[in-house]
Amino acid sequence: MTSPRRPVTPSKVLMLTATLALGACASVPRQPYTAAEAQAAEVAGIPNARAFADASVATLTAMMAAPGARARPFAYLALSGGGGDGAYGAGVLKGWSEAGTRPEFSLVSGVSTGALTAPFAFLGPAYDPVLEEIYTSGVASTLVKDPNLVNVVFGSGLFGDGRLRDLVGRYVTPDLLAAVAAEHAKGRRLLVVTTNLDSKRAMIWNMGVIAASGAPNAAALFRDVLTASASVPAVFPAQLLDVEAAGHGFQELHVDGSVVTPVFTVPQAVIANGRGHVSAPTKADIYVLMNGRIEPDFELVPDDTLSIVKETVATGSQARSRASLAATYAFARANRIGFHLTYIDGAAPRTTAAKGFDTAYMRSLHRIGYEKARSGTAWQDTVPVAPIVASTLASR
C-alpha cells in the first residue's frame, strides 16, 4: 500500500520553482580567468593573506605557527559553523571567562557562524558582551526576516543582498582591526575559512595579516571574508572578492566555509603526515567548539522535496563533522596534544526557524552554553561514539 503524500503548500511550490529556475536565469557576466591564475592569485597589496586549505604542510605551518610558538604553551580554539546555534558558543565563551579557566588562545579558527565569533573570541573576555549582543539581542534574527524568492532567482540569496554584510560591518570597526593587528604582532593567529566556488576548494584567510597590512582595502576585505564565510548558499548572497595574478585583476566567488569543512582544526595534509611530522609545543591543547549537534538522532522527516533536501544537507554536514572530529582526536592522541570538545547535546531545545535565527531559541542556547562552561562541565576529552557503535560495544 502506498503511503499518502503530504500536501504541497503554495509556498513550497514557489520555493521549488525558484530553485529550479536558478539554472535557467541569466546573471551578470564575470571576468574570466584561468586555473593557473586561480592558483597564483593574491590580494593586491596584502601578500600572504591566504592559502588554500590543501596547500603544502610547509605553507600551512608557516601560516598557523608564529616564530617562537614552540617555546610557550599553545592553545588552539576551533569554532564551527551552525547559523543561530553560534549562540551556544558565545555562551560557552562567556561562562568560560567567568569560570576563570579560559586560556589566551595562540590560534583561533572560525568557519561560518564560527567566523563571525572568531575575532571576538580571539581578542578575549572583554569582547564577550559583543558576542552576547549579536546572538541574544535580536539583531541576528533580522538576517532572516522577509524572505524574497525573487532574490534567490537573481542570485542575491533568500534573505536579501547585503543584509549579512551590513551586520558584519557594524562590528568590524577600525578599533577591532587595530586590536587584531596588535595581537598578531605578538605571534597569535586568527584564521577564517571560506569556500572558493570557482576552485571548489576551501581557502584559509590569515585575518591578522589583513588587519596589520595597513592597506586601504584591509577593512573592506576583513569584513567581506567574514561575510563570505557565513554566506550559506541560496540563503545569503555569495561574495565576490578582488584578487590578481600577474597583473590581471579578477574576482573570485566565495561562500560559506562549511560547504567544505564544518570546522577547521588541523589541515588534512598535516593529519595525513601523522605522528612524527609535527613538532608540538611543550604543552599544547586544541579546543573544538561545535555550534551544533554532532550525535545522530531520530526525527521523522516529512515526505516532501524541501524537507528531504534540508535533512539531507544537515545529515551530510553532521557526518563530515564527526569525521573531522575523529581525525583530529586521533591526530591529537598520536602527537600528545590535549583534545577538548564541546557541542550542543540532545537535551537542548530545537527550533524550526530558518538557520536557527530565532531570538528566544538563541537566548536559551546561550544560557545553556554559559551554564555548562561556568560550572566546568562544557568540555569532554573524547569524541562521542555513534549510538549503534556504543550499543554494539556494550553487548560484547
Q: Among the residues of 277-358, which ranges form H helices?
A: 305-334
Rounded CA gap, 51 and 181, in Å? 19
CB-based burial, 280-304: b 16+ in 10 Å, e otherwise:
ebeebbbbbbbbbbbeeeeeeeeeb
DSSP state of 46: B
Residue 144 to residues 84, 141, 224, 267, 373: CA-CA distances in angstroms?
Answer: 10, 6, 19, 33, 29
Q: How many residues does the chain have?
A: 396
Catalytically annotated residue among 256, 321, 324, 358: 256
57's grid cell? 604542510
In the residue annotation, 161 being an active-site residue is answered as: no
Contacts of 166 (CB under 8 A, 6+ apart): none
Task: Tell me which residue of 349, 90, 66, 61 sits closest to 212, measured CA to CA.
Answer: 66
Question: Where is 108: in which H helix or E strand?
Answer: strand 107-111
* DSSP string covering 181-194: HHHHHTT-EEEEEE
Rounded CA gap, 5 and 126, in Å? 53
Rounded CA gap, 70 and 52, in Å? 24
In the residue annotation, 375 being an active-site residue is answered as: no
DSSP state of 131: H
Catalytically annotated residue among 112, 213, 231, 317: 112
Rounded CA gap, 190 and 226, in Å? 12
Residues that are catalytic: 112, 256
